[in-house]
């Protein structure tokens, strides 16, 4: 549970790694315990990564080593009121019908999306380009869009990071066909000066403790 918290922490830590060249693993547990808007590990309750980003914007976030993940919601630890290891100043969004704007955003940094992952085929995904089944009207599962590409047959896809373990999908990742699973319905990402050139295309693979940076050519 708590995918919304992992998505928000992952987006911010990867964003800051691009800025600074240094990966600092942040604490999803702080968001689960301290961000009262969301519902802890209860994915069936309110699980909105945007409000998790807003918590980080207002209060900052500490590291995973200082506030480790436990898998259950507990009382917010008081020391975080005085600990601000990483902060951000703005939250970006993408218009809900703009695939090109999402490409622009992902070309600069990882981006949080909510998609429909309710199908059993999604649960059992083991690799390849996933094109459904999934709803084009529901979106409840927070994921991190870390890249995009095109197959040799011209099928365009997003590269998604999920938090269901490395045994799921392609080492914890999915290639989702573009335009599927209501991916444009709810997009958010951290923003902070300096701005990045729109000509710089960066593929960020986030593996909790490792960020690999390599160019992609969609």
Block means of pLDDT (10 residues each) for the chain, 218 residues, are 91 93 94 78 61 91 94 87 82 83 93 94 97 90 96 96 95 96 93 48 31 33
- Provide the pLDDT for residue 1: 67
- The CA–CA distances, whole Å, from 104 to 130, 177, 196, 199, 204 equal 22, 17, 11, 9, 14
CA distance 93 to 11: 13
Model pTM above 0.85: no
Work out the burial of residue 187: count CB atoms within 10 Å of its CB; fewer than 13 is exposed, 13-18 middle, 19 or more buried. buried
The pLDDT tens digits of the residues spanning 120-140 come to 999 999 999 999 999 988 888
Using an 8 Å Cβ cutoff, are 143 and 4 in contact?
no
Using an 8 Å Cβ cutoff, are 118 and 134 in contact?
yes
For 123, the 3-state DSSP assignment is helix
CA distance 7 to 20: 20
User: What is the CATH code for 3-214?
Assistant: 3.90.70.10
- Provide the pLDDT for residue 44: 43
- Provide the pLDDT for residue 193: 56
The pLDDT tens digits of the residues spanning 86-112 come to 888 899 988 777 789 999 999 999 999
Q: Does a cis peptide bond (omega within 30 degrees of 0) precede residue 133? A: yes
């Amino acid at each position: 549970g708590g995918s919304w918290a992992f998505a928000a922490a992952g987006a911010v830590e990867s964003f800051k790694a691009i800025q600074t060249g240094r990966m600092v693993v942040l604490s999803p547990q702080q968001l689960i315990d301290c961000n009262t808007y969301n519902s802890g590990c209860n994915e069936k309750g309110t699980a909105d990564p945007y409000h998790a980003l807003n918590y980080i914007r207002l209060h900052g976030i500490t590291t995973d080593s200082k506030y480790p993940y436990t898998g259950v919601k507990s009382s917010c630890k008081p020391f975080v009121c005085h600990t601000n290891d990483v902060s951000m100043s703005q939250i970006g969004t993408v218009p809900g019908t703009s695939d090109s704007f999402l490409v622009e955003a992902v070309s600069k940094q990882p981006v949080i999306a909510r998609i429909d992952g309710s199908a059993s085929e999604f649960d059992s995904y083991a690799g390849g380009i996933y094109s459904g089944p999934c709803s084009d009207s529901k979106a409840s599962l927070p994921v991190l869009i870390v890249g995009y590409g095109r197959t040799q047959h011209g099928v365009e896809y997003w590269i998604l990071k999920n938090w269901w373990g490395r045994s799921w999908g392609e080492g914890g990742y999915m290639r989702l066909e573009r335009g599927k699973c209501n991916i444009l319905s709810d997009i958010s990402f951290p923003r902070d000066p300096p701005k990045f050139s729109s000509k710089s295309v960066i593929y960020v693979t986030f593996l909790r403790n490792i960020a690999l940076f390599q160019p992609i050519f969609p």
